[in-house]
């Protein structure tokens, strides 16, 4: 907020965006500290959300303990930093989010990216894809998923969130 005020006071360009991690697995720090400032009704600073898929964990493909044995496994590429997404609570929460997606006829990618996309402070999401199929699935999630996600979906997301607040934050 001080940066916004200082820019205004001194006739400098205002901050237009910030880049933070934000996903179904990592929400609290942004929502508590920055969401209000970034909201369009306040300072209107757009969030460029990175890791909206929790490093791929929210697809559910890493829930099997044997899936992480590959050297190309994203969580093995960045040991320490990415292990938070492989924590037991993050896996439990991911299983619950997968149930929400299935219940509402969405893919896990549509659920995770749709949630981040529809937040009022999100300007854009930074997606990552290892394969062309993953890139296509990400793009499809933005073009074919309901916009915005229906209230029933958001209610179910909040139910999971209340049980597993930021399970990937160590």
**Mean pLDDT of successive 10-residue stretches along the chain, which has 170 residues:** 88 94 95 91 94 94 69 65 84 98 98 97 94 95 92 98 92
What local confidence, expressed as pLDDT, does residue 69 receive? 56
Q: How far is residue 54's CA from residue 50's CA, in Å, rounded to a whole number?
A: 9
Q: How far is residue 103's CA from residue 98's CA, in Å, rounded to a whole number?
A: 9
Peptide bond into 166 cis (omega under 30): no
Q: How far is residue 117's CA from residue 114's CA, in Å, rounded to a whole number?
A: 5
Peptide bond into 148 cis (omega under 30): yes
Report the Cα 119 to chain-centroid distance in Å: 10
DSSP 22: -
What local confidence, expressed as pLDDT, does residue 35 receive? 93
Q: How far is residue 49's CA from residue 118's CA, in Å, rounded to a whole number?
A: 12
Q: 3-state DSSP call for residue 53? A: coil
What is the number of residues in the chain? 170
2-163 under CATH 3.40.50.300, yes or no? no
* Stated pTM of the model: 0.90
What local confidence, expressed as pLDDT, does residue 76 receive? 67
Residues β-bridged to residue 124? 48
What local confidence, expressed as pLDDT, does residue 99 receive? 99
What local confidence, expressed as pLDDT, does residue 22 receive? 97
Query: So where are the chain's domains?
Result: 2-163
């Amino acid at each position: 907020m001080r940066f916004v005020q200082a820019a205004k006071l001194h006739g400098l360009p205002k901050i237009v965006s910030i880049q933070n991690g934000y996903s179904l697995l990592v929400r609290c720090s942004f929502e508590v500290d920055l969401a209000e400032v970034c909201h369009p009704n306040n300072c209107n600073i757009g969030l460029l959300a990175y890791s909206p898929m929790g490093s791929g964990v929210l697809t559910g493909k890493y829930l099997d303990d044997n899936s992480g044995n590959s050297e190309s496994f994203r969580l093995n590429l960045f040991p320490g930093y990415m292990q938070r997404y492989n924590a037991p609570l993050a896996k439990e929460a991911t299983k619950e989010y997968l149930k929400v997606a299935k219940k509402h006829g969405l893919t896990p990618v549509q659920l995770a990216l749709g949630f981040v996309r529809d937040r009022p402070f999100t300007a854009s999401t930074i997606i990552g894809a290892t394969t062309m199929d993953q890139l296509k699935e990400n793009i499809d999630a933005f073009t074919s998923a309901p916009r915005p996600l229906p209230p029933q979906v958001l209610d179910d997301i909040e139910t999971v969130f209340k049980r597993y607040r930021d399970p990937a934050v160590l």
